[in-house]
Each structure stands twice: as C-alpha cells, then as structure tokens.
Homo-oligomer: A and B are copies of this chain.
Amino acid sequence: MQLKELAEKLQCRLVGNGEIEVHRLAPLCEASEGDLTVVVNARDLPKLEASRASAVIVGEGSPPWSKPALLANDPHLVFVHALRLFSAPDHPMPGAHPSSIVQEDAQLAEDVAIGPLSVVEAGVTIGPRSIVGAQVYIGKGCRIGADCRFYPQVMIRDGVEIGDRVIIHSGAVIGSDGFGYLKDRQGARIKVPQIGRVILEDDVEIGANVTIDRATMGATRIKRGTKIDNLVQIAHNVVVGADTVIAAMSGISGSVEIGDRVTLAGQVGIADHVKIGDDVTVGAQAGVTKSLPPGGAFLGFPAVPHLEFKRSVAAINRIPQLLMAIKRIEARLASLEGTMRKRQEEAQTSQSASEGGPK
C-alpha cells in the first residue's frame, strides 16, 4: 500500500513522500525497509533515525525527524487501526464445508461459513457473515448473532445465546454443566441438573481453553464488550458486567456478580456469591472472599485494599526490627531495674545506718 493511501484510510496528515510503498507494520526495534513503524513517545525519535523503517506514525507536534510520516493525535491508536487494515483476517468461502455435519433445520444467514468437520445441531441459528472454524461443535438450539468468529475446536453446548461480533478462541467450552451436587441421606452426592443456559452479549471475546458453565436455572451471563483471557473459569449463574476484563487463569465461583469496567488480573479467585462493584481492580493472584464496593483496588488473600496489602507486606518486613527493638528495650529496663535496686539497697543501708547511728 502507498503511504498516501494509508494516510487517507487512517485520516492522518501526511508529511514527506507519500509515494513510498509500505509492505508491513513493525515495532520500532524490529522495523526494516518497507516497514511502517510507530513512535509513541517523542524520546524514541533518535531510535527512529537509527532504524531502517521506511515510514512512521508520530504524534502531532513532535520534534523534527527525517522519514515520511503520518501525523496523529494518538499514534498508538492509529497504529492499531493500521494493523487492522493490514491484518484483515481471511474470510473463508461462505457455506458449510461438505465434511461438516449441519442439521437440516439449522438456519445459516448469508455469508456464514462453517469449517470442515464441524457439527451444527438442530435448531441452531447463525447470523450473517459469522465464521465457524474447523472441528467446532454447536449444540441444539443455540442462537448466534452476526459477524461472530469461532476458531477451530470451540465447543458450544445446547441452548447457548451469543450476540454479534463475538470471538471465541479454540478449546473454549461454553455451556458445560455447573458444579452442583446435593447429598442424600446416605451421604452420596446427587447431581443437581443444570438446566439453565449461557448468554454472551455483543462484542464479547473468549480466550482459548476457557470454560463457562451453564446456569443451574436461569443464565450465566457475560455482558457487552467484556474480554476474557485464556484458561479462565466462569461457574454457573455468574453475571459478568459490561466492558470488564478478566486476565488469564482467573476463576469465578458460582453466582458471583461482577460489575462493569472491572479488571481482574491473572490467577485471581472469587468466592461464590460475592458481589464485585463497578470499576474495581483486583490484582494478580488475589483471592476475594467478600463483596467489594465499587472503584477500589484489591490484593492478597483474603483480598484487602491494595494499600492495606502493601502495608501488611511492609509490616512483616519490620518484624525482625521489632524483635531487636524489644531486646534493646529489655536491656534498658534491666539496667534501670538494676540501678533502682541498687539505690533501694543504698537507701536502706543509709537509713539503717542513720537509724543505727544513735545506738
């Protein structure tokens, strides 16, 4: 693509030779000839001069540089848009691959593609332009929106509802049974049937090998715009709010409610029935055992406000110092007590002396 074309598509001001051909995008440290790169921070401009990049996206008002450039208010964001232009994912041929098993009454909208060796069960509906990869399973009665993309080996059990533009990565399991048992009088566990379902709203993205259990009754729900990283566990009847981010390997127990715009870092655990307010941040490996009010940052097990956790860590580090302080104090005490005892004895001696004097 010519740089001037890119400038137009990205709505950026062009500086320098717009005839230049851009073949690839690359970060500053890896850029070579034919590459368009980005300088997010003006202090990296010297690196740009040293690099072999052919062109650059830089911030408006940057100090001078020599290469052809696209000027942007937010160079990082414009670079991402450029990446999206260059990486338009391949759209496979519409229709179901002949090796896939699609039940007759499944309704596929226009331009839906079903990859090889996939299974689409009875009563499924799939919206326009959605792409289902190879070896995917979609259970009975699932309703799937438009422009979704399911990578190979996704598993979606019966009755799951999925909005528009939802991305699901390989190995994810959506709609497995919740983990529910009841003990009978003999102490044997009876499985509680899990007859609810899972709802993934618009613009949700689900990572590889994630598991999202169906509700016992009702629905496990992931709201609009929420992004879930790899190997996350979402138990039955959980509700995750909108525009929330859950990093890899976090586990959300049954019936938890998570607010909007929440961030869970990696390997976080949330105990069952806990409520997490909007805009909360939970740090890596934290274990949340009680409901959290909106807006705070939390860390540790059991999770406490972020500053309290740091104070605890600092406090623990001060224990050896405490032990030494106590030793010093005890020495001073002993010395005082010694002096006191001595003076007591002297006083007694002098008193008995003065008492004895008259004799």
Which of A's residues lie within 8 Å of B, judged by CB? 25-27, 30, 74, 76-77, 80-81, 83-84, 86-87, 90, 97, 99, 101, 115-117, 119, 133-135, 137, 139-140, 151-153, 155, 157, 167, 169-171, 173, 176-177, 179, 181-182, 184-185, 187-193, 195, 203, 205, 207-209, 211, 213, 217-218, 225, 227, 229-231, 233, 235, 243, 245, 247-249, 251, 253, 266-267, 269, 271, 284-285, 287, 289, 300-302, 311-313, 315-320, 322-323, 325-326, 329-330, 332-333, 336-337, 339-340, 343-344, 347
Contacts and interface: CB of A to CB of B under 8 A. Distances in A.
B284 A287 contact: yes
Contacts of A86: 193, 195
Nearest to A115: B119
Contacts of A317: 312
A103 B278 CA distance: 49
Contact of A119 (B152, B191, B266): B152
A30 B219 CA distance: 11
A159 B170 CA distance: 16
Contact of A336 (B213, B285, B326, B336): B336
Nearest to A27: B217
Contacts of A185: 74
23 contacts: A83-B195, A84-B191, A84-B193, A90-B140, A117-B117, A119-B152, A169-B176, A171-B173, A179-B230, A189-B225, A208-B211, A213-B230, A233-B249, A249-B249, A251-B267, A266-B269, A311-B320, A315-B316, A315-B319, A326-B326, A326-B329, A329-B329, A333-B336
A211 B218 contact: no
Contact of A243 (B116, B189, B269): B189
A140 B139 CA distance: 27
A340 B337 contact: no
A21 to B, nearest CB: 18
Contacts of A285: 269, 285, 287, 301
Nearest to A82: B193
Contact of A182 (B77, B152, B233): B77
A333 B333 CA distance: 7
A337 B332 contact: yes
A339 to B, nearest CB: 6
